[in-house]
């Protein structure tokens, strides 16, 4: 579920009118309606303001869970010049469903199981290289990126890379997010006063 659908669902569950939410965050009803329907993309700050308001109404406080706390630090990459056979061995050996593709230490794309399987089915697969089946690179976020924003990113991409000042630190996949949140929701009850 994306963040915008979540906002509408939580607002309705609390019985908060669109107008009340709009006044609470200093925006118009029409603007919030377009945000909830996914017609416009609000700023990160506005989304955080809306979520803080909803959390206060729910009596919950958002934890300070970041991607650094759930990412896999054992980032395995593949060079664009590697053969498809090498890529298959690396993916199989590590049980990876995707690999970031690098050239000279810089991420230039990605390789998924789907693209690899498609390529290996071709008669020219023996001579094929990773660069021949290169897919767009995954998004890169800072290690302090809020984990509660990952579901919408991972709904569009199979993985998110984590970097600090341009240096890759790790990767977050859907499995990492599930594993990191097992038994822990993104929003925990506020501690009693």
- R_g (Cα) of the chain, nearest Å: 20
CATH number of domain containing 93: 3.10.580.10
Residues 177 and 102 in one domain: yes
Angle at 112 between CA 106 and CA 115, to 5 degrees: 115
Is there a contact between 37 and 18 (Cβ–Cβ < 8 Å)?
no
Q: Does 111 lie in the same domain as 25?
A: no
Are 177 and 27 within 8 A, CB to CB?
Answer: no
For residue 7, the domain's CATH number is 1.10.260.40
pTM of the full structure = 0.59
Q: Is residue 133 part of a domain?
A: yes
Q: Per the domain annotation, does 99 fall within a domain?
A: yes
Is 191 among the domain residues? no
47 within domain boundaries: yes
Mean pLDDT estimate for the chain: 85
Do residues 56 and 113 both lie within one domain? no
Q: Are residues 7 and 98 in the same domain?
A: no
Helix (H, G, I), strand (E, B) or coil at 156: coil
Q: Which residue segment(s) compose the domain that 35 sits in?
A: 3-62
Domain ends where: 14, 39, 62? 62
Distance CA 103, CA 43 (A): 33
Give which of 186, 105, 130, 116 is closest to 158, Cα–Cα: 116
Q: Name the domain count of the chain.
A: 2
Mark which of 33, 62, 91 sits at the end of a domain.
62
User: Over the stretch 33-63, which tens digit does the pLDDT of each residue have?
Assistant: 998 888 888 888 898 899 888 888 876 544 5
pLDDT, tens only, 51-104: 888 888 876 544 567 888 889 888 899 999 999 999 999 999 988 889 999 998
The answer as to whether 156 is a domain residue is yes
103 contacts 79 by C-beta, under 8 angstroms: yes
Q: Is residue 87 part of a domain?
A: yes
Separation CA 186–CA 192 (nearest Å): 18
Percentage of residues in the chain having pLDDT higher than 90? 41
Report the C-alpha gap between 138 and 172 in whole angstroms.
Answer: 10
Judge whether 147 and 65 are in contact, CB under 8 Å. yes
Q: Which residue has the higher pLDDT, 191 or 111?
A: 111
């Amino acid at each position: 579920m994306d963040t915008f659908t979540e906002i509408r669902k939580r607002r309705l569950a609390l019985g908060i009118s669109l107008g009340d939410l709009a006044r609470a965050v200093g925006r118009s009803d029409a603007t919030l309606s377009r945000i909830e329907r996914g017609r416009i993309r609000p700023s990160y700050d506005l989304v955080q303001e809306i979520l803080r308001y909803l959390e206060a109404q729910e009596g919950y406080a958002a934890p300070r869970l970041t991607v650094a706390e759930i990412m896999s630090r054992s980032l395995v990459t593949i060079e664009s010049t590697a053969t498809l056979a090498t890529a298959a061995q690396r993916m199989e050996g590590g049980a990876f469903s995707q690999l970031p593709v690098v050239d000279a230490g810089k991420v230039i794309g990605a390789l998924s199981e789907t693209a690899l399987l498609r390529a290996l089915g071709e008669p020219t697969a023996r001579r094929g290289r990773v660069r021949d089946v290169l897919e767009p690179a995954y998004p890169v976020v800072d290690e302090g990126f809020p984990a509660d924003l990952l579901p919408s990113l991972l709904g569009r991409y199979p993985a998110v890379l984590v970097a600090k000042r341009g240096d890759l630190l790790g990767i977050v996949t859907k499995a990492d997010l599930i594993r990191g949140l097992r038994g822990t929701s993104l929003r925990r009850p506020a501690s009693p006063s």
